[in-house]
Amino acid sequence: MLTWSQLLLVLWVLLSILLYWAVALSSAWVRRGGGRGRAARLLGAYRGRPWAWLLLQSFKLVYFLGLPYGALIQGAISPHWTGLVHFDLYASLGMGGLLTVGAFTLLSLDWWIYLRSLARSAGTLRPLPLWGGNGGSPGSAGLASGLMGVLLLEVHWAFYRGACSSFFGDYAGPFLGIALVGAEWCADLSLNGGINRAEERENFLHQATLAFIIAVIYVYTKNFWICVVAHALLHLGLVRWIRFWGKRYEWGKDSGFQMDRACAGFEPVRSQANRQRHSDQRREHYGRQDTDPFEV
């Protein structure tokens, strides 16, 4: 029999999932044209306004921070299950650092092999996986944006992780919480057609891998703040790593193919006649605006 606090926690989690799915449906509706009704006309009139962007960011903060905070202050979820209290700082630092270094070593090797295979492939040219916006650019606003995105995701993951841990314990709970996040991602990808784009699949794989690694780190540390630091180091470090090796292979330093330097961001170009087509691809890829307010 569920207690009142457990029932309240279930309701908070359901509210979070339903809100995510509602936004995913709205995003899919917008991308498909948005219909011809009054709502579509209003959306077209206000889209791109500065205050609309501010409203979108405010909605992100309310969703990622407001819902977990509301559940916390109402007593629906305990700070213990989210890793905010009752942890051994020095032990968690040692174990968290070891797991983070090991994870970065394996992931950087995997991405290096993947980029190398892209550079030597004779398949269709497309953008290299440079997801993360400017998250890896030091001294730019992109670094702050990347760190904020990491914090928002970690709070969201900790909310689901803590909710499942309160029902299923410290070991199964974190992984079941990540399964809830995965259900949200799959719904978003299927509704918005992201699963059909290679770069979106790469981004999904990157985020899913990080979610699993952070769950493992939490199991061994029980420390929310260690998870935030580990997530930031892994994400920003991998973005820089991928950009470094992506540019290296684009410029032909390690590849036997002829490269087109004017099409930075793409795989090796075999023909000068394709220069304009690849430039158009690049502009289309990096100029595309995402309407999903939950992608951080």
Please write the tens of the pLDDT for every residue from 39-79. 555 565 566 667 777 887 888 899 999 999 999 999 899 99
- pLDDT digit string, tens, across residues 175-210: 999 999 988 888 777 776 656 666 777 788 888 999
pLDDT over 90 (residue 138): no
CB-CB contact of 111 with 245 (8 Å): yes
| 244 residue type, one letter | F
Per-residue pLDDT averaged across 279-289, rounded?
47
Q: Where are the alpha helices (DSSP H) in the chain?
A: 4-31, 38-46, 50-61, 67-73, 79-82, 89-119, 141-192, 198-221, 224-250, 275-287
Q: Is the Cα dihedral 64, 67, 70, 75 positive or negative?
A: negative
* pLDDT computed for residue 261 by the predictor: 32
pLDDT over 60 (residue 290): no
Hey, how many other C-beta atoms are within 10 angstroms of the C-beta on 84?
Answer: 16
* pLDDT computed for residue 46 by the predictor: 62
pLDDT over 60 (residue 292): no
At residue 127, φ and ψ (nearest 5 deg) are: -65, 145
266 strand-pairing partners:
127
- pLDDT digit string, tens, across residues 7-24: 999 999 999 999 998 888
Query: What is the distance of C-alpha 233 from the center of its chain?
Result: 14
Quote the CA–CA distance of 26 and 47 in Å, as a whole number: 14
Selection from 50, 49, 30 nearest residue 41 by Cα: 30
- Prediction pTM value: 0.76
* pLDDT computed for residue 293 by the predictor: 36
* pLDDT computed for residue 260 by the predictor: 32
